[in-house]
């Protein structure tokens, strides 16, 4: 940070599970940060490989304190991140995955952005995409995959985050830094949600999230990742629509209880839930399904990825 300025207290929070393949490179990239963290808090989810031993070696050599907690049984990524975030002592919390690579300025740029925007609840950046061999995956970035261009970035930063989140996820957890004082707004995280999705919604309700268009890390895309932008799944699309509808039902109940004054958002979420239910019940007959999709064309633009989502639903079995 600039001379004469007090370095912010940043805790890096990481969850691990059987991550020896890429973990050492990620740990080194955290150690190489231009803004050194106050601490690294790692919660390991009962790994059965050499992950914990690797963490212990790093703890002995790291230029900052490293706290390693090993779960006695597997909690899953959401519960594990929830407890890891609660264990951190910094004023700012940077979320880390075990298989990425951070650029040296990541913590400094995120912290500087939050210092310059005191009303914001957090910040998140773009990221380059790399494969399992550290090779860049063309010129496309994480935001490029989400089609999160300059116009949407500006809207997200200036009151339009909720409407954009109605369409699809935008914020990836490992690109985030959030204010620890707002932890009570998102914790505990409901088990039906992935941690970054829930945190994004809670911060968007409570305070602004600042997008940083500069890619600050290498986001790794590989077959072993638990969640990710190209993670394949055997879950049928109809089941996925029904599952996401239940997630938004839980979100809606939370907002009704904690933010009853946000009537417009509550109405939007209820409309989103109805739309997801309709997608889950689309007719199996091809002609009838095309007619139903056409009838709901406007909702595909409001609550999904527009024609891309409509086209995907045309192929439902």
Mean pLDDT over 65-93 rounds to: 96
| Same domain membership, residue 268 and residue 123 | no
* Overall domain count for the chain: 2
Mean pLDDT over 94-111 rounds to: 98
CA angle 26/29/35 to nearest 5° reads 135
Mean pLDDT over 213-228 rounds to: 82
- Residue 233 confidence class, pLDDT cut points 50, 70, 90: low
| Same domain membership, residue 83 and residue 43 | yes
For every residue of 23-81, DSSP letters joined together read HHHHHHHHHT-SS--SEEEEEE---SSSHHHHHHHHHHH-SS-EEEEE-SS---HHHHH
Give the helix/strand (H/E) hosting 174: none
pLDDT of residue 317: 72
pLDDT of residue 228: 57
| Same domain membership, residue 201 and residue 126 | yes
pLDDT of residue 138: 83
15 in helix, strand or coil?
A: strand
Give the helix/strand (H/E) hosting 212: strand 208-220
- Residue 223 confidence class, pLDDT cut points 50, 70, 90: confident
- Residue 4 confidence class, pLDDT cut points 50, 70, 90: very low
User: How much of the chain exceeds pLDDT 70, in percent?
Assistant: 95
Q: Extract the tokens encoding 112.
A: 């500087």
| Same domain membership, residue 152 and residue 91 | yes
- The answer as to whether 230 is a domain residue is no
- Nearest Cα to 40, choosing from 9, 69, 11? 11
Q: Extract the tokens encoding 84.
A: 């890891």
Specify whether the CB–CB gap between 195 and 78 falls below 8 A: yes
Give yes or no for residue 130 having a pLDDT over 90: yes
| Average pLDDT score over the chain | 94
pLDDT in tens, 174-206: 999 999 999 999 999 999 999 999 999 999 999
| Same domain membership, residue 209 and residue 101 | yes
- The answer as to whether 2 is a domain residue is no
Give yes or no for residue 224 having a pLDDT over 80: no
The count of other CB atoms within 10 Å of the CB of residue 287 is: 8
pLDDT of residue 139: 81
pLDDT in tens, 254-266: 999 999 999 999 9
- Nearest Cα to 188, choosing from 84, 297, 43? 84
| Same domain membership, residue 170 and residue 305 | no
| Same domain membership, residue 206 and residue 111 | yes
pLDDT of residue 2: 47
| Same domain membership, residue 292 and residue 200 | no
pLDDT in tens, 133-183: 989 998 889 999 999 999 999 999 999 999 999 999 999 999 999 999 999
Q: Extract the tokens encoding 140.
A: 């496309």
d(CA 84, CA 105): 23
Specify whether the CB–CB gap between 142 and 229 falls below 8 A: yes
- The answer as to whether 4 is a domain residue is no
Of 175, 193, 220, the position where a domain reaches its end is: 220
Q: Which domain holds residue 153?
A: 10-220
d(CA 31, CA 58): 10
d(CA 169, CA 241): 14
């Amino acid at each position: 940070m600039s001379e004469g300025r007090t370095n912010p207290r940043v805790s890096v929070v990481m969850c691990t599970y059987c991550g020896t393949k890429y973990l050492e490179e990620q740990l080194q990239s955290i150690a190489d940060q231009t803004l050194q963290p106050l601490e690294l808090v790692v919660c390991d989810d009962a790994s059965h490989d050499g992950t914990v031993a690797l963490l212990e070696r790093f703890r002995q050599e790291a230029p900052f304190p490293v706290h390693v907690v090993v779960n006695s049984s597997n909690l899953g990524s959401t519960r594990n991140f929830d407890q890891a975030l609660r264990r951190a002592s910094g004023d700012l919390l940077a979320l880390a995955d075990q298989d990425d690579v951070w650029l040296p300025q990541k913590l400094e740029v995120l912290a500087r952005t939050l210092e310059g925007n005191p009303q914001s609840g957090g910040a998140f950046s773009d990221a380059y995409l790399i494969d399992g061999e550290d090779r860049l995956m063309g010129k496309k970035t994480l935001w490029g995959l989400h089609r999160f261009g300059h116009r949407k970035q500006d809207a997200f930063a200036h009151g339009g985050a909720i409407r954009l989140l109605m369409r699809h996820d935008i914020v990836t957890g490992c690109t985030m830094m959030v204010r620890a004082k707002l932890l009570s707004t998102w914790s505990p995280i409901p088990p039906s949600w992935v941690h970054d999705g829930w945190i994004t919604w809670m911060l968007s309700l409570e305070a602004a999230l600042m997008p940083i268009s500069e890619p600050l890390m290498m986001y790794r895309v590989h077959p072993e990742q638990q969640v990710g932008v190209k993670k394949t799944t055997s879950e049928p699309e109809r089941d996925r629509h029904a599952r996401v509808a239940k997630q938004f039902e839980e979100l809606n109940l939370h907002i009704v209880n904690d933010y009853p004054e946000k009537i417009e958002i509550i109405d939007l979420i209820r409309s989103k839930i109805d739309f997801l239910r309709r997608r889950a019940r689309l007719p199996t007959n091809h002609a009838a399904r095309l007619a139903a999709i056409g009838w709901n064309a406007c909702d595909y633009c409001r609550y999904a990825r527009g024609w891309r989502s409509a086209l995907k639903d045309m192929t439902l079995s």
